[in-house]
Structures are given as C-alpha cells and as structure tokens.
C-alpha cells in the first residue's frame, strides 16, 4: 500500500483530502499541530472503513521540528509515495498597518512549510523508483490578489511557482507536482466573512465544498493523471 502524507489533515480541506485518499486505497499519515482530538477522529473514521491512517504531529513552520518528525517517520516506515501540502494560516489586514508578526507567521507556515516538508522527502521518494505525486494547496488569492491578504496571497503565489519549478526537477523521475487553487470553500477559513456578498461574486452563486477540492486532489493522485504536472488547477465556481 502506497504511503501519502497530508499536512493540516485534522479538519477542513485537509480532512476531506485525507478521507478521499484513504478511500482510494492509500495509507495516510495525518499531520496536525493542534487539535489532536480532531486528528484522532479523522483517523478513527478512516479505520472505520478499513483504511490505514497514522498520526504525525509537527508544525510545518518549524524547520527543525518538521525535519526531526519526518526523518523519524522515514526511518520507521519508509518513503512516502505522495505528499499533499495543505497546512496554512491567515492573518488578514491592510499592508500599511499589518504587524510584522502577522507577515512572518503566514510566510513561515504557508511558504517556508513547502521547503520544510518537501525537501526532506523528495530524495526518499525518488529512491522508491515508483514515480509519485506532490500536490500543494495554493489559492485563488495567489492568482488574482485579494484586498487585505498581501501576506497570504504572496505565499500562495509563491507556492504555485515553487511547485512548477519542482515539477521540472522531478518530472524525469515520473513524479508529478501540481497546485490546486481553491476559491471560496465552506470551511472555518471563511468564518466571519460576508458570505452572501461572496456568493454574488461567484458565477455558480455558492461556496465550494471541501469534498470538491478533495475530488481534484484524488484525481491528481490517480494513474489517469500521470501526465499532468507543473499545473495550477482552480476549484472556484467560475471566478476569473
């Protein structure tokens, strides 16, 4: 059974992706940094349909902690065939009044997390000699920009560019690397936003679901997506 890692897997889009990949027959490592009870609930749900899931707690923004956790897991269980970099945070506000710590925290988690998680795992994946899948979760904000999200948009644009570059580096190994860029998805991340106003800006007049994002990730992990790499694929209800 092929092993995959999903970061930020305890809730929202990460939870939906973990469940989808487990149902598709992968053994899933569920990363989380807080919310152990939520992560354990996802693990129990996966085991409830005879799927395989383990917990792997570390902060993707903490380079030393991430490396220690990942190297320990590699030693115990071997390389991952697939990676989903989903963990992310927001700290919204106008750039002119944005506290330094809000910029730094978003960059550290969303963008530094790319290096902290993927860099230790790429060569072990290559040495499997079995191809592989890497998916990063970008955002429509990284494609179009968004008022009050200069920090978040910058990290998501950086993720997309980094993923495209990685695709060029690992393609000859049969490993694909793509970004999925959700629009407005019904998760905790949109709590407190003017939802009716947001729906009016979406051609399909509704928010997306975490399961709709997970369906695309599931396809990118399938054999049928073996020739798709270096792409940014949006799930946004038709937003430009």
Q: Which of 151, 149, 138, 133 is nearest to 87 (CA)?
A: 138
- Please name which of 123, 139, 144, 147 lies closest in space to residue 185, comparing C-alpha atoms: 139
Which residues are part of the catalytic machinery?
A: 152
C-alpha distances in Å from residue 155, one per residue of 19, 42, 46, 55, 196: 26, 27, 31, 26, 27
CA-CA distances (angstroms) from residue 145 to 76, 142, 150, 183?
A: 42, 6, 7, 12
Instruction: Give every CB contact of residue 174 below 8 A, 6+ residues apart in sequence.
Output: 130, 131, 132, 226
């Amino acid at each position: 059974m092929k092993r995959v890692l999903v970061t930020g897997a305890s809730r929202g889009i990460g939870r939906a992706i973990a469940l989808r990949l487990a149902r598709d027959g992968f053994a899933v490592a569920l990363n989380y940094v807080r919310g152990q009870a939520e992560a354990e609930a996802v693990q129990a749900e996966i085991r409830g349909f005879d799927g395989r899931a383990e917990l792997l707690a570390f902060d993707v923004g903490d380079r030393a902690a991430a490396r220690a956790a990942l190297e320990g897991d590699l030693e115990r269980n071997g390389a991952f065939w697939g990676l989903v970099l989903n963990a992310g945070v927001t700290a919204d506000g106008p750039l002119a009044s944005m506290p330094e710590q809000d910029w730094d925290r978003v960059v550290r988690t969303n963008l530094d997390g790319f290096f902290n998680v993927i860099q230790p795992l790429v060569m072990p994946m290559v040495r499997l000699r079995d191809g592989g899948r890497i998916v990063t979760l970008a955002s429509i904000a990284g494609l179009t920009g968004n008022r009050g999200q200069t920090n978040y948009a910058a990290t998501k644009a950086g993720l997309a560019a980094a993923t495209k570059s990685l695709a060029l580096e690992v393609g000859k190994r049969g490993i694909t690397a793509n970004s999925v860029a959700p629009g407005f998805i019904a998760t905790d991340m949109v709590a407190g936003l003017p939802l009716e106003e947001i729906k009016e800006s979406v051609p399909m007049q509704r928010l997306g679901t975490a399961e709709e994002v997970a369906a695309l990730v599931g396809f990118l992990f399938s054999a049928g997506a073996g020739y798709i790499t270096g792409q940014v694929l949006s799930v946004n209800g038709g937003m430009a």
